[in-house]
Amino acid sequence: MKVLFAFFTDPPRPFSSSVAALAAVVRDAGHAPEALEIDRKSAIDDARDAIEQAAPDVLAVSAMSRDWPGARALVERLDPAPYVVVGGYHASMAPRDVAACAAVDAIGIGEGERPLRALLAALERGERPARSRPGLWVRGPAGFADPVPSGDPEPDIAALPRWDYEVFGDVHTGLARGLNTFGPHVDRFLPTRASRGCPFACAYCSAPRWGKTAGFEAAGTRNTRPVAELCDELADLRDRYAPEGFEFWDEHFPVRLAWLRELAREYPRRVGLPFKVEMHPNAASRERLELLVEAGCVLFHCGVEAGDEALRRDVLNRRTRDTRLQQLFDDARELGLETSASLMTALPGETRAQTVETVELLRKLRPGSFMWSTYQPLPGTPLGDAAVAEWPGPARERFDDYEKIRSRTPARLTEAERNAAFHDLNALQASRVADASARADAPAPPRPVEVPAARPPAPDALARLLGLAPPAAPLSARVRVNTATWEAGALSIELEARGLAPRRVDIGPRDGARCYASTDRLALSYRGGEAPARLLEALDALAERLAPLGVEDLRGALDASRGHAPAEATRVPR
């Protein structure tokens, strides 16, 4: 049978750990797995056409809560419809919401390897399951009438087949596109996993409930791979795909000191490639960091989440003091570890003053890079269950086009304050990436980072002046304002041509210094090495538009737009 896995990405990334794990089970059972990456900003009908053309026997949808409204609209439009099974965090945490979709035949609960194997065996025999089993809730003649079943996890993850990387296509091409998550640049690090589960209970995170569903703490369960078995696989992956290193996508990297000591002893000898990990800051003791460095770790990632200590403690159940965070990042720098961090904004009850504290804390911690997103309530979490009465219905035309969740505990931010917070984080993020690029001998392209779209008030005077707001004649490059602050007397923007890394461009007064292009009163300079022709074309178009303008025009438009997040680009007008 042909089993097509549909998974959702934003920003685009041709890899899913869930699909890699389950495709290996499909292949091991003698069937043919395929994978379809779906950009959350793409049209639903385009994905429908791709699935209908592939004509799978089984469509396996891996969906998080933000993906489900679009995934629901997608499966409801399929004609003819294959057997549809939906799994992932949302299906496991809110199975009745998924069961409300008439196009869904089965719902995976928790870890999916054993349930999927059993389902495929039944379908291969020509049986359409009518009774649920552990890990699989099925639609019978009366609908989803059985009680929601418990999970059916694998008691020893070392017994599972190795991830299937080739289901996503050529692995070398995927590495070139960038599969990595941590750090400021796209690199050729290959995702992998050493364990499952997280020992912490943050109020916003699905991992604690998922761990209970999957039975991670059950007696006799082994959810950390033996070091020898892990090194065997990584050495094989090294020889087969020649990655630069490995990036561990564990919910929480193993912390047992005996395991880490064995890793520090065996990994350099048997694998020898650099790697990156993620760990809760409270678990990242100096001794553990030293063992990671000894093993070959080059980047440490952790969640900072918010800058206000009381907000972290009382709302997020993230009990990490500022002093602990500072010590961790200082220790990492002293040991030569690069660092990255993640955080959320628009948290329940969060104020503008608290978003300012987040930026100030990041300035003190000085991570090499960070990623950030808007908080979204999740089912199966204390914050999500307290805030959400009903999840959104199907999306409309695009996968991200649906009614947003209405929270009963929203952030206490006005629209202008929300945009100002976005602007502050975007500007700091850009400066950290620029600093990282300046330190690198041969900087790689910036890694795509999911940045929540701001909703600037219209009209945005600065965007209109620079031609970043409609109407605009298309050119083969996009432009967006990277920051709405003056840096050394110049307005910094970012130009991005198709297939090329973004380039910073400074627009300032014409003062006789060297620049790429100039008008009567302005000078345009790009940062970086030799610019491709398409980038120069975009610069020329921008200079033509700015020909009648001076610094005072830019400053006036900047002042009119001050306090708002930068406008996303459409096109550079001619």
CA angle 6, 8, 9 (to 5 degrees): 140
> Which pLDDT band holds residue 420 (cuts at 50, 70, 90)?
confident
Strand, helix or coil for residue 539: helix
Tell me the pTM.
0.79
CB atoms near residue 16 (< 10 Å):
22
Give pLDDT tens digits for 333-356.
999 999 999 999 989 989 999 999
Query: For every residue of 251-316, which 3-state class applies, written as one string?
Result: CCCCCCHHHHHHHHHHHHHHCCCCEEEECCCCCCCHHHHHHHHHHCEEEEEEEEECCCHHHHHHCC
Question: Phi and psi for 350 in degrees, rounded to 5?
Answer: -70, 140
Tokens matching residue 58:
């089984």
233 Rama class: left (phi>0) / alpha (psi -120 to 50) / beta = alpha
Q: DSSP states of 106-148 as a string?
A: EEE-S--HHHHHHHHHHHHTT----S-BTTEEE-BTTBS-SPP
For the segment 466-484, the average pLDDT, to the nearest whole number, is 45
Question: Residue-wise over 61-89: b if at least 16 C-beta within 10 A, else e?
Answer: bbbbbbbbbbbbbbbbbeeeebbbbbbbb
Say if residue 566 is exposed, middle or buried (CB neighbours under 10 Å; 0-12, 13-18, 19+). buried
Predicted local distance difference test score (pLDDT) of residue 307: 96
Q: Which residue has the higher pLDDT, 216 or 471?
A: 216
Predicted local distance difference test score (pLDDT) of residue 549: 86
CB atoms near residue 397 (< 10 Å):
9
Query: For every residue of 331-377, which 3-state class applies, written as one string?
Result: HHHHCCCEEEEEEEECCCCCCHHHHHHHHHHHHHHCCCEEEEEECCC
CA distances from 228 to 271, 272, 370, 429 (A): 11, 14, 32, 38
For residue 248, the cross-strand partners are 192
Looking at the predicted structure, is the pLDDT value of residue 500 above 60? no
Is there a contact between 81 and 103 (Cβ–Cβ < 8 Å)? yes
Of 378, 429, 423, residue with least CA distance to 405: 378
How far, rounded to the nearest angstrom, does the alpha carbon of residue 142 sit from its chain's CA centroid? 38
> Which pLDDT band holds residue 550 (cuts at 50, 70, 90)?
confident
Question: Phi and psi for 299 in degrees, rounded to 5?
Answer: -145, 135
Question: Phi and psi for 356 in degrees, rounded to 5?
Answer: -65, -40
CA distances from 370 to 136, 154, 302, 367, 421 (A): 37, 34, 10, 7, 15
> Which pLDDT band holds residue 220 (cuts at 50, 70, 90)?
confident
Looking at the predicted structure, is the pLDDT value of residue 386 above 70? yes
Of 460, 431, 411, 449, residue with least CA distance to 569: 460
CA dihedral 524, 529, 532, 535 (to 10 degrees): -30
Rounded CA separation 157/113 (Å): 10
Is there a contact between 385 and 379 (Cβ–Cβ < 8 Å)? yes
Pairing of strands 106-108, 83-87: parallel
For helices 352-365 and 415-439, what crossing angle results, to 10°? 10
Looking at the predicted structure, is the pLDDT value of residue 443 above 70? no
Rounded CA separation 320/297 (Å): 23
Question: Phi and psi for 99 in degrees, rounded to 5?
Answer: -65, -20
Which residues lie below 8 Å from residue 164, measured CB to CB, with a gap of 6+? Answer: 20, 21, 23, 24, 26, 27, 33
Q: What is the largest CA-CA distance in the chain?
A: 79
For the segment 48-57, the average pLDDT, to the nearest whole number, is 97
For 21-82, strand residue ranges (E) read 32-39, 58-62
Looking at the predicted structure, is the pLDDT value of residue 460 above 60? no
Predicted local distance difference test score (pLDDT) of residue 479: 44
How far, rounded to the nearest angstrom, does the alpha carbon of residue 404 sit from its chain's CA centroid? 19
Q: If you average pLDDT over each of 305-319, 404-418, 541-555, which comes out highest?
A: 305-319
Predicted local distance difference test score (pLDDT) of residue 169: 95
Is there a contact between 430 and 566 (Cβ–Cβ < 8 Å)? no
